[in-house]
Amino acid sequence: MSELLISLRGVTKKYGIGATELMALKGIDLDITAGEFVAIMGPSGSGKSTAMNILGCLDTPSAGQYLFKGAHVEALLRDQRARLRRRYLGFVFQGFNLLARTSAQENVELPLLYRGDSASVRRKAAAQALESVGLGGWEHHTPAELSGGQQQRVAIARAIATAPAVVLADEPTGNLDTQRSHEIMGLLLALNRDHGITVLMVTHEPDMAAYARRLVHFLDGQISRDVPNPHPVTAVTAAPVEPASVVAEAT
């Protein structure tokens, strides 16, 4: 049996008060086991992004329970949630979110810097992560010197440099063309398939969701459908990914 990694029970999220009150989530129950690849789907305003923010410890539920490895996240203080993010979670965003005047190497080192790792550990882990996403030799290039696909590879390298248990990807291919999109999905698939990293991905694109093994659909603040993907894409078009933890363990 796989380890139960994440559990949401009766999670609600309310914004505003009185006439402006909006219930973005209306009592969500969701279990995610370690090693899953889950696509979270739904129209705008369905609650999928709100749920992802809560799962990523970027927001807190108004009511209900969020358990991560058995710990009650909803009861943690802000600093405690930040430590949980640094230790267990990696993030990939649609807009890449790279520092414009900072090299690829330095961008990837950022979460390691926040975690307090030494300079030597940061350099080795970042170099390994960039190599693993096919950007060895591009360490000193700034985002302006990289294509959109390369920038997203840097973002993925940044996400995996800390050897997270979970990668949360929010529309990771939204700014990319079809070929680059499938290359990025190949990288995420390799992380999940070969190294057991749990991947939670928000997407509105069925051809990207096809890489996931489980499809969770949101509608009007509730989960409307939670089903296995009967025919997930299994072919990896990108280079194999080596986990950054190899470097961390070696140091």
Q: State the sign of the Cα–Cα–Cα–Cα dihedral 84, 87, 92, 98.
A: positive
State the average pLDDT over residues 183-212.
93
pLDDT of residue 94: 85
pLDDT of residue 104: 96
Helix/strand/coil for 187: helix
Helix (H) or strand (E) holding 124: helix 119-132
Domain ranges of the chain: 34-60+78-250
pTM of this prediction exceeds 0.85: yes
> How would DSSP label each residue in 207-247?
HHHTT-SEEEEEETTEEEEEEE-SS------SPP---THHH
- Per-residue confidence band for 19, with pLDDT thresholds at 50, 70 and 90: confident
Query: What tens digit of pLDDT does each residue of 76-96 get?
Result: 999 999 999 999 999 998 888
Say which CATH architecture domain 34-60+78-250 belongs to.
Answer: 3-Layer(aba) Sandwich (3.40)
